[in-house]
Structure 1
């Protein structure tokens, strides 16, 4: 494993997560897959994402939208079981291809200013999708990014609510994966190496957040989705 590459990935991804409330898995997973076994990469990503969310949530807890958080959590409970079955038993390559195509289509729709009306049902369904994607490939953020980028919620509420949700879903996912599948020493060693740079990324991300207006945040979300979909598709095809 290339330690310097790991440090750079964690630093950039944690900065993005702290700035937007999203982005850690989206920025880290495609590159961690180049360094580690796919399941080790997924577990490392979930563990680091849990730590960064836990470190962030206390300071921003006052702007969490509790009703939305509850619906996301309830929905995620339906998605985690089929997701963990994918993680344990199936090849992740076909799933990665499907996700890359869906992300690209969604990004094009969002860039075309497709709007979403907030609703309890949509939030519940986003939770289902997010729970499934977390336990299967370690990426809880894309469904929420797609949904929230098309709403009029302010950036502080979006960030705090998603971070609070990530605390729950990442902890649940890493516990399910560890007890039902197990984990390797490289996951925990990589976590320890990454911690100082995770903290540095949070500090840098907070600096970016206060200077990021709502429009810029949406543009950044579109860019993240587009980059991830293309990168996932190309790297998966090339395997």
Structure 2
């Protein structure tokens, strides 16, 4: 596959998103999906996000396993599996513009919640709700992160537990999501070739992200989350409005 401007742009997005994912446990799908939706068809963009987030989580499992909250992980996992088929139905029923609006609302809503510093008392029911919403968003817009980010940050969980539990949860939810995508339509040869071509950017991002994580204080960790969400949400909103005005003109 030749190195085109599109591939170069996608490589930069994958690199930066992988750094954020490896350093915070969040960030890859939240940051990459809005940009990938600008580069690729909606289904391809979501599938690329699914594949890369799964690969990053698998690559970091060994170094994060000991810090996982296993009770929370179990609840998130089974409830997300219930939400995944619901997300597939949502994806097939709504148009690309509504997918973008749904994503923008989820991201900017997460940002507002974190800015207001609302506290959430953890419970079994809330664990399940967070998992279900993450599963639904995985296959509808390719971004399971906002419900987890709101819940875990609002619960004031330790950054190491947040990172480890989230990365391991992604192995579950993205594996099921990928299987669901395969059953309902599969992956094109071009998409798989594009994914392979972008792998070096992902590996470099993981290496940098591990280094960055060791230097995060809790305050910097939270501010990074806010910056990721705000930048991505505003970019997506700008993209939606620009497309709308262009179509009207």
TM-score (norm 2): 0.91
Q: Is 1:185 the equivalent of 2:206?
A: no
RMSD, matched Cα: 1.4
Residue 54 of structure 1 aligns with which residue? 58
* Structure 2 unaligned regions, length at least 5: 244-249
Higher deviation after alignment, 115-124 or 204-213: 115-124
CA contact (8 A) 2:77 2:172 kept: yes
Tell me whether 16-25 or 182-191 shows the greater mean CA deviation: 182-191
The partner residue of 2:152 within 134, 148, 151 is: 148
125, 131, 136: which one pairs with 1:121? 125
Unaligned segments of structure 1, at least 5 residues? none
Q: Counterpart of 2:186 in 1: which secondary structure?
A: coil
Change (3 A) 1:181 1:237: farther
Pick from 157, 160, 165 the counterpart of residue 169 of structure 2. 165
TM (normalized to structure 1)?
0.95
* CA distance in structure 2 between the aligned counterparts of 1:232 and 1:113, rounded to whole angstroms: 23
> CA shift at 1:101, angstroms?
2.5
Secondary structure at the residue paired with 1:211? coil
Residue 84 of structure 1 corresponds to 88
Paired residues in the alignment total 239
CA contact (8 A) 1:71 1:127 kept: yes
Relative to structure 1, is the Cα distance of residues 143 and 220 closer, same or farther in structure 2, using a 3 angstrom cutoff?
Answer: same
State the distance in 1 between where 2:110 and 2:11 align: 30
The answer to whether the 8 A contact 2:110-2:146 is kept is: no
- Would you say 1:5 and 2:4 are equivalent positions? no
Q: 1:44 aligns with which of 39, 45, 48?
A: 48
